[in-house]
A and B are shown apart, each in its own frame.
Chain A
Amino acid sequence: MISDATLDLVREWLPELLVAAAQTLEMTALAYALSVVAGLFVALGEMSRRRWLARCCRVYIEFVRGTPTLTQLFLIYFGLPAFGIVLPSFGAAVVALGLHYAASMSEIYRGGIAAVDLGQAEAASAVGMTRAEALRHIVLPQALRVILPPMGNSLVSLLKDTSVASLIAAPELMMRADDLTSEYYMPMQIYLVTGVMYFIMAFPLSMAVRWLERSLIRSRLRQRRA
């Protein structure tokens, strides 16, 4: 299966696949940025004292977590045009993945904020901070250590999930692989090379997340001993 001819072909595919991998990284970065920001709003909304707002955020989270990413992607790409909102496939993928991950991100934020001792927020309001100030200056910086590892894990899953965008023909790695497959009809070789490329992107990232996790635990242990 791996003959010189195949290696020559791989060399032929590689430039195209590398460009597509860059698009995958771009899609990942944009969707991730969206999820980090939108997720914070959803988390704050859910913890809000306004009942209706908290309920809306809860419904949003349950809907997103109860349906496949693929369905959400199709709703945004094929469904929104009926309401006059037409997004290009790349944009639709960024929005769909970003909003999908916003739901899990909001759960991560909520968990992190809940992990910060309640006394911290009480002390902040005792020294005259508003709720927003206490959250920004006191609670969130401490929550950050708890939420960083799961946020990193989300990034790794998001990177892999961008492959789903190929099903609405958004330009990224998997889409490019599909194109090459219909051009050369060598699915085994092309998808294996694609798999290796995803591995090269995702594996170091997940190693980095595990390293971060371990070093955060170590620093917490050091603090406790000090």
Chain B
Amino acid sequence: MGGWHRFVDRFPEIVQLLLTGAVTTVVVTVGGFAVSVLLGLLFGTFKTSRSRALRAVAHVYVEVFRSVPVLTQLFIIYFGLASVGIRLPPVPAAVVGFGLNGGAYLTEVFRAGIEAVNRGQSEAALAIGMTRLMALRIIVMPQAVRVVLPALANFAIGLLKESSLASAVAAPELSFNAGMLVRQTYLSTQIYVCVAIVYLAMSLPLSSASRALERHVARGKRA
């Protein structure tokens, strides 16, 4: 188990590069999360719509994107699109890839959230003269979002870890920088242990926050 001396010597440099990568990890996660939420809201609304065509569109979207590995989707977006002339830089490609994939998961989450809101709520909104869209936006969605908050938090934690796959499309995030360091120093054990610690440092606070949120929402429901 050699290399600890070299590891200690280069420790500041290693930590700096890993933390720079962690910032990009957060950027990819936040960007992917935002796109996922937007797509999830849109297609979740489609899924609960009266129009059969909209429901079918949402259904196909969900089934296709949930049945193909996210790595394959990333490669189609990064390498595939580039070969037909649409060249996305790595980070935006990762944001789009994780967003499209995550949107399929969140579609089902938002659908469940919308269906969990009592029908009487939207009926009452229509009765006082709101359009269906207004009822959805002003009355149903705010209540649905509360129901889905814990699921959203869990999704964000999953996405944070999944963003490591962006290293495969050369996005300079935590795992990518780690791979670069390993190729320079051959200190694979030490560096990947550090990487695991940095991921834990990001995901553990998030998951305890999400558990607190879950308890909070559960309390609100009882009241």
Instruction: State the A residues within 8 Å of B (CB).
Output: 1, 62-63, 65-72, 74-75, 78-79, 82-83, 160-164, 166-167, 174, 177, 181, 185-188, 191-192, 194-195, 198-199, 202-203, 206
Contacts and interface: CB of A to CB of B under 8 A. Distances in A.
B71 A66 contact: no
Interface stretch (B38-46, B47-55, B62-70, B128-136): B62-70
Contacts of B83: 185-188
A78 B188 contact: yes
A74 B163 CA distance: 15
Interface residues of B, number: 42
Nearest to B3: A82
A66 B1 contact: no
Interface of B: 1-3, 63-64, 66-73, 75-76, 79-84, 161-165, 167-168, 175, 178, 182, 188-189, 192-193, 195-196, 199-200, 203-204, 207
Contacts of A161: 69
Contacts of B67: 160, 198-199, 202-203, 206
Given A187-B79, A198-B69, A206-B67, A62 B204 contact: yes
A63 B196 contact: yes
Given A69-B161, A70-B164, A195 B76 contact: yes
Most buried by A among B67, B76, B188, B193: B67
Contacts of A191: 72, 75-76, 79-80
Given A66-B204, A67-B199, A199-B64, A167 B189 contact: no
A83 B1 contact: yes
A215 B192 CA distance: 44
A192 B80 CA distance: 8
11 contacts: A68-B163, A70-B175, A74-B188, A75-B189, A163-B71, A164-B71, A174-B72, A177-B72, A191-B75, A192-B76, A199-B64
| Closest CB pairs A-B (n = 3) | A187-B79, A188-B80, A78-B188
Contact of A167 (B66, B163, B168, B196): B168
A78 to B, nearest CB: 4
Contacts of A167: 168
A1 B175 contact: no
A70 to B, nearest CB: 4
Given A163-B72, A191-B72, A203-B67, A79 B161 contact: no
